[in-house]
Structures are given as structure tokens and as C-alpha cells.
Chain A
Amino acid sequence: MTSIKQATAPFGRRSLLKGALAAAGVAAMPSLAACSSSKSGGTEASDAVSFGCNAAVPEPKGAYQTLFTAAKAKTGLAVNVNWVDHNTFQQNITTYLQGNPQDVYTWFAGERMQYFAGQGLASNVNDVWNVIGGSYSDAMKAQSKGADGNYYFVPFDYYPWAVFYSKSLWASKGYSAPTTWDEYITLAGKMKTDGLIPLAFTDKDGWPAMGTFDYINMRMNGFEFHINLMRTGQGWNTPQVAAVFDQWKQLIPYYSPGFLGLTWQEGANQILNKQAGMMVLGLDQIGTIFTGSNADDLGFFPFPEINPTYAQDSVEAPIDGFMVCKSPKNSAGATKLLEYLGTAGAQQTWLGSNPADIATANGVDTAKYTQPQTAAIQLINSAKNLSQFMDRDTLPSFADPVMLPAIQQFLSSPNDVSSLLKNVDAQAKTIWATNG
């Protein structure tokens, strides 16, 4: 492993915030003057790159500020940022990309990335990958390519989904991590008799349950089946998928009471406050609850094995990163900036003391990581396949409008699976027919 430049002096949260406050004044100015002056979209040799960033919230914003300062020092490029909050950015991505996008923008890997690339709303970044390709695993590379084989995405950070628990609670009760489904169920039963909520589960927001589906499907039917189901929408009304739901039924009695009315934060707090034993969630989410002195109390184990053929070879690890809009004003600058952002050093600068994500490039100094972060790297490195999470792996018009309510329907009435799957399949056919 090549050694890399150490990250710049570690910023405490306070100074990051102060930096954010100071820089926010500058960064908040609408800085599109540089972009609107020339409409040619050709490669200018200017030293400013515009950046559409979905991190208007103070904490990641401060991290990005630090990152862009370092970028300027390293590459000489000034980064003019359009700050938007995460959910708004995501919700409005279609209008954003067709309207007035910045040169570089934050986005996610998966079908969502391939979809926009396929619609011609992104430029390929093969030039960038010629430079950074050496630092990435094959799984990463696969996730960064569009359907046509070109690179469209530069990964930045990601995090795994796993089964999380409070280490101190487990130590006090003498639990140990299960590796098979039967052990998982037995442990849940034990937790119930011990007066805990065995499985913290919350699905008011709809998306947390998708993680459980993905894992059970990958464990029972294998990664190929799962990804194919996600990408093509074919095969929902099959015995294999029905079996996934049947298996899932076994977990429901152990779930948090009233789970359809609880947010993931309430569930994570149940783990933190030692009211619940285990929770299937992503590190990115639960890492924001287990902060500060609690950070190292967070433990996890990979989702248990169901079918020994597939064992635990797949990990759900959504990747966040950057793309380039279809006609950037400063194409050369964008490439240069991305070449920097794709390095482990840049990612380490951004991560700072963020305990919820891990860098995507190889060669990060893990001495600064919390225990969960280090364990997360090991989990992902040991995986043969990486999935991106249902709402990133499948068509957006299928994930939230169809699967989200379907899963909630299943959780409300677990015995009505066959008619549910028939309907999901019928809807999937119409959606893929018109969106293909």
C-alpha cells in the first residue's frame, strides 16, 4: 500500500463550524456569474470550477469547506459552491440537471447514476479514472461505470448496512454475534425473555425496511438474482421472492411495537438507550446517533447467513460521489478537481472526525478511524459483491412509488404475500415498459 500524505491538521468540530460560518458568507453568494458569462461549454483554462453540493447542513458543509480549501491549495482551483440541502437536492435532481447545473455535483452510485448517464445528463469521466483508477477495487470500478461501459462517477465515501448493537449492553448480558439465521432467531428470543426489544425496527419513513429485504434476498437467492431483480424488474412474482417474504415473517414478532409509526431515529435511540438489542441499519445513519464518547460503543455483525451457498458474500454499501454535468463550463478544471477528490488524502480530509462513513479510495490512514469504521472496512473488503440499496439499485419510479408501499403493506398484513407480489409484478411490467 502506498503511503499517502497525512491529512491536514485535524480540525475539531468547533473550528470546522467556525470555518463554515466564515466561509458560508462567501460560498453562499450565488456564484454563477462565472458560468453564465460564457455559454460555449468548452474547455476554458480558467481557475474556477462550480460545484453543486447537497450538503447545506452545517456538519458536512464544514467538512466540504475544509476539503475545498485543501483542493485549492493542491490544484489551484477555486471551487464555487451552490449549497442545497440533501433532500431538496435529491428531489429536484431532474429539474436541476436540465436547468442550470454546476460543473460538478454530488450524487450516488447505482441505477440512479446509470439512469442519468443514460439520459445524457452527465459527461463521462474516463480521463479522471485514468489517473485515479489504481486506488480502487474492482467492485468500486464496476459501480462507477454507466451501462455503456464508460465511467461517469467518481466515488467519494460509502458505508455498510449491517446489524448494529450496543457493545456495552451485549457485554452486560453476555450476548455474542450470530452467524446463521437460526442463531439470529434464537438470540432474538433470548433478548425477548430478557425484557428487551429484540429487533429495533422502524418503517415510518419506508426506506429502512428495504435494507432487510435486500439482505434476505441476497442471502437466500444470491447476489446475481437480487441485482437482476432490481435492474430489470423481472421475477417479482416468483417462488424465490415469495420465500424471502416468508422468511421475513419470522422476524416480525421481534420487532419494535408500533414500528410503522416510528422513525429510524427513534429506533436507533432504542439501541443507544439499551432498550433494544439489534437493528438492521446503515452506518451512515446510526453513526450520527452514536457520536462522541458513544462512538466506540457501536458494534455490528454482518447480516446472518441463510443459504450456505451464498453465505455472507454480499454487503449492502451505498456509495456517494461526484459526477460532471453534461456541458460543464470548465471541463478541464472539473477533471483536475475530481482527480484530487478521488485520492485517499482528499477523502481523509473530508472525513475528519466523521464517524459515520468511510473513504472509498485505498490507502487511507485508518489510525483516525473509530472502531466501527475500521470494522466496516474489513466487512466491505471481505465482501465479494457490493449492492447499493434498493432505492439506488432499481428504477426510481419503482422503488418509492411501488416497493415502499408494498413492503409496508406486507408488514401490516404478512399473510397476504401472493396477491401483493402479483400486483408488484404487474406494476413493474408497466413501469419498465415505459421507462426502459
Chain B
Amino acid sequence: MSSITLSPPRRRKRLMRYTKRDRAALSLMAGFPLLLSLAFVWLPALATVALSFFNWTGIGGLSDMKAAGLENYRIIFTIYPEFPPAIEHNLLWLVVFFVVPAPFGLYLAMQLNKQIRGSRIYQSILFLPVVLSLALVGFMTELVFSPTQGLVNNLTGHAGQNNLIDWLGNPSLNIWAVLIMAVWRQTGYVMILFLAGLKSVDPSLQEAASLDGANEWQAFRHVVWPALRPINIVVVVVTVIESLRAFDIVYIINQGTNGLQLLSTLITANIIGETSRIGFGSALATILLVISLAFVLPYVYITFRKDTRS
């Protein structure tokens, strides 16, 4: 029976122990990507936050921007009717993504990790929705959910004039149709992440546990789940990011109108295209950024502090 040993706590490496070459190498290795990220992601992001306090059409330069203070935010929170449904939908998305694709993806990964026959085929099929392009997913949503032409309504007899279920046009229903397609996509994605993470869990640990008399659930709880810690962190953050950033499917169906409002579609509607309400759109983007940061940063901070200390 193999015993499980714990490694000694990580020794603190002091900078003095690095050679000059090493220090240069490390600086470059981290520095150049950092520069890239700061220049092309953070700089525009901070500029966006700054822009939210101005009114600008996007044409021309600094002189064409007119200061607006908190006006854009006032409009968003008081008279912009698309905003409350968007927040609601994003939060709904978050809840659904935590409740359905994350556990289901984990379950599928656990089963497929057992190296049963055909697991590679199963994996491929389950991962397939992730690789399909936006146009195709949008078309498939139409094919399945269109009130008159869709599979669901025609198979259940609801495509007639009198008993139509309007999956795409009814603002209370269509978010669920979209969430079904989103979960369909997200599950494969999460499954792949868990599969890669499960590779770090030695099966002999599970063997040991089951030899000790534990059933599958107990083995999972006490052996596998703790070992999945690193990948759990990734999945949590990914779930939050994907729900707050959700855009594609909704956009391709109806561009985020009529019951499918999301923060990202609102931003698009106001920044992209000829609309050019840059300040207003930036304010929406800032709100989205703040919400995302509020979820993710504390979580990452806490988990990594814990890990560094352990």
C-alpha cells in the first residue's frame, strides 16, 4: 500500500541566490508579456474608465471630448430601461453556470477519466459545441427554437397559430432558450479543464481509499476533490468570467434585445457601429469591469495567499 507523504514547506528563495543572468532572464520572461498586457489591455481599459466621464462620438481627439462627470452613470441607473434586465440576466447566467455546467462537467470528466471504452469519442462529442463558430451556433439555436420552424415546437406540436410557444420572441422565455445553448457549450469546456486537472490525481490514491472501504462518493470527497483544488480555482474564475462576459449567442440571435439584454450587448449597442456614444458605452463597460473585479480579485487573492503561505 502506498503511503502519502507530504512535501516539506516550500523554502523561501531569496533574490540573492539568483545569478545576474538569472535575474535578467526572469525579468525579461515576465517583463515583456507584462508590457504587452499593460499596453494593449490595461491601458485601453483604464482609458475606457476615464472615457466614461466624458461624452465623445469616437471621432476626433481629446479636444472633441466633452466632460460629463457622472451624467452617464445617472442615465444608466435612472432612465435606461435596458440596464436592469441586463444585470438580471448576467446574474442569472452566473447562477445557472455554477449550478449546471460546472458540476455536470466535473461529473462527465470523472466518468471519462476512468478510461472506459470509447471515452475519446465521448469527449470529442461533448467538446464539439465549444469549437463551433458563432454563426453556426446561432443558426442551430434558430433551428431548434424558432417558433414556427424550430425542432422543439414542431416535435411537440406547438408550431401552429393557436398554441405557439414563442421561444425566441417571448421576453420571459428566450433567456432560457439561450441558457440551454450556453450550457450546452460551457459543459464541454469545463469538462476539458477538469479532465486536464484530473491528470494530476493519482488513481492509486483512489485505489487506496476504496481499499480502505470508502465508496466512490467518499473517495471523491476526501481524495479527489482536494487534489482538484488548482483546477477548481480555474473553473470558478472561468465560470464567473464567462457569465459576465457572455455575448456571442445572444448577439447572433437578436443582438441582445427583447429579453436577451446583457451588459456586453448593451456596451456593443452603444460603442460599436454608428451609434458612437462612447462615453455612455464606456460607463457600461466600467460597471461590468467593476462587477467582474469585485467577484474575481478577492477570490484569486485569497486563494493564492493561502497557497503561498501553505
Interface residues of A (CB under 8 A from B): 90-94, 98, 112, 115, 119-121, 197, 203-206, 257-262, 266, 396-397, 400-401, 404-406, 408-409, 412, 423, 426-427, 430-431, 434-435
Contact = CB atoms under 8 A, between A and B. Distances in A.
Given A206-B255, A412-B258, A434 B269 contact: no
A397 B148 contact: no
A115 B57 CA distance: 11
Contacts of B274: 90-91, 93-94, 112, 115, 396-397
Contacts of A412: 171, 258
B146 A119 contact: no
B248 interface: no
A257 B162 CA distance: 8
Task: Report, nearest first, the 9 A-B pairs whose CB atoms are least far apart.
Answer: A261-B169, A260-B169, A261-B168, A258-B147, A396-B274, A258-B166, A434-B55, A397-B275, A258-B164
Contacts of B79: 423, 426-427, 430
A262 B275 contact: no
Given A397-B277, A405-B81, A405-B258, A434 B147 contact: no
B40 interface: no
A404 B147 contact: no
Given A427-B79, A430-B75, A260 B258 contact: yes
Given A112-B274, A431-B277, A257 B147 contact: yes
B156 to A, nearest CB: 14
Nearest to A87: B273
Nearest to B149: A266
Contacts of B269: 400-401
Interface residues of B, number: 43
Given A401-B277, A405-B258, A260 B161 contact: no
Contacts, number: 117
Given A405-B82, A405-B257, A260 B275 contact: no
A401 B276 CA distance: 11
Nearest to B166: A258
A197 B166 contact: no
B167 A261 contact: yes
A92 B272 CA distance: 7
B166 A260 contact: yes
B166 A397 contact: no
B38 to A, nearest CB: 23
B66 interface: yes
A266 B253 CA distance: 14
A434 B255 contact: no
B171 to A, nearest CB: 6
A435 B54 CA distance: 12
A266 B171 CA distance: 19
Contact of B169 (A90, A98, A204, A401): A204
B273 A90 contact: yes
Contacts of B280: 434
A405 B254 CA distance: 11
Contacts of B68: 434
Contacts of A409: 81
A257 B80 CA distance: 29
Contact of A205 (B55, B148, B254, B276): B254
A404 B257 CA distance: 8
6 contacts: A94-B58, A119-B57, A204-B168, A205-B254, A261-B146, A430-B71
Contacts of A93: 273-274
